Amino acid sequence: MSAFLSPAQVRQFRQDGYLVLPGMLSPESCAHLRSVVQEHLRRAVPPLEYEAEVGYPGAPSSLDAPGGRTVRRLQGAWQRDDALRAWAEDPRIVTCIEQLTEEPVALTLAHHNCVMTKHPRYGTATGWHRDIRYWRFARNELVTVWLALGDEHPENGALKVIPGSHRFDIKPEQLDALDFLRPDAPENAPLFAQGFTPSLRAGDALLFHSGLFHAAGPNLADEVKMSVAFAYRGRSNLPLAGSRSAAGGDVLLGD
């Protein structure tokens, strides 16, 4: 299969740690995926994760508290529906990841593999973190593909990134016990100032490096924000034995 990304796009990803691919899904395909997600939310189809279980600041204190059963993630997206599986295995995405990893790729089922939902009022903020903080692979070189099923902007809690932060040398004292950047650490202030919110329209895909610091605000809008997230690795970048990353399994893609 011929290359999908231009050499300039590959260079941009390596430099900035992220890349926006506009219009990867048509309005009709986005509408179909939204309808699938809305039906799974309506029926609370497991597996899923609630805001109360995440424990982020401002989240409901328990499942029985007001908003406690607000869904944060529909987990197991690849296993949920043919349309979600087709997106995860889209040949264009596979080709992109092959270009970025320079080898055949696999979809990891242990991490992301979900639909992120952020609800009004109870859709809490997420602090600055790197996904690799709780992933265990030979190399910090995975790529997440984030598909916007609707327009994403600061008011509805869109993803924010710190460009180039996958290349930063971060000291242990800059991080809290959960590996989030500490708001009270003076050396983090210049990093926060570099935070940027990529503008995404429905059907756009955001690719970002597993070492890139990213965050998201609360949803202050009136509608649920829905995004599909899958994570990919080069086939030689194996999960560490005995880890959760290894236990989840994966799907080999491409030739």
Cα separation values, 3 from 8, 19, 124, 145, Å: 12, 16, 38, 17
Whose CA is closest to 73, among 36, 106, 43, 44? 44
| Span 55-94, pLDDT tens digits | 777 777 788 788 788 899 999 999 999 999 999 999 999 9
Query: What is residue 62's predicted lDDT score, i.e. its pLDDT?
Result: 83
For 36-60, give one letter per residue: b (16+ CB within 10 A) or e: bbeebbeeeeeebbbbbeeeeeebb
DSSP, collapsed to helix, strand or coil, labels residue 164 as coil
Query: What is residue 54's predicted lDDT score, i.e. its pLDDT?
Result: 82
CA 205 centroid distance within chain: 10
Comparison of pLDDT for 255 and 205, the residue scoring more: 205
Decide if 162 contacts 169 (C-beta within 8 A). no
Whose CA is closest to 236, among 218, 217, 221, 250? 250
Rounded to whole angstroms, how far apart are CA atoms 7 and 212? 21
| Span 87-123, pLDDT tens digits | 999 999 999 999 999 999 999 999 999 999 999 988 7
| Span 195-210, pLDDT tens digits | 999 999 999 999 999 9
Q: Is the pLDDT of residue 1 over 70?
A: no
Average pLDDT over residues 173-201: 95
Rounded to whole angstroms, how far apart are CA atoms 71 and 116? 9
Query: What is residue 59's predicted lDDT score, i.e. its pLDDT?
Result: 76
Going from the N-terminus, what domains does the chain have, and what CATH number goes with each? 7-252 (2.60.120.620)
| Percent of the chain whose pLDDT exceeds 90 | 85
Query: What is residue 116's predicted lDDT score, i.e. its pLDDT?
Result: 95
Q: What is the mean pLDDT of the chain?
A: 94
| Span 36-59, pLDDT tens digits | 999 999 999 999 999 888 877 777
Decide if 42 contacts 53 (C-beta within 8 A). no
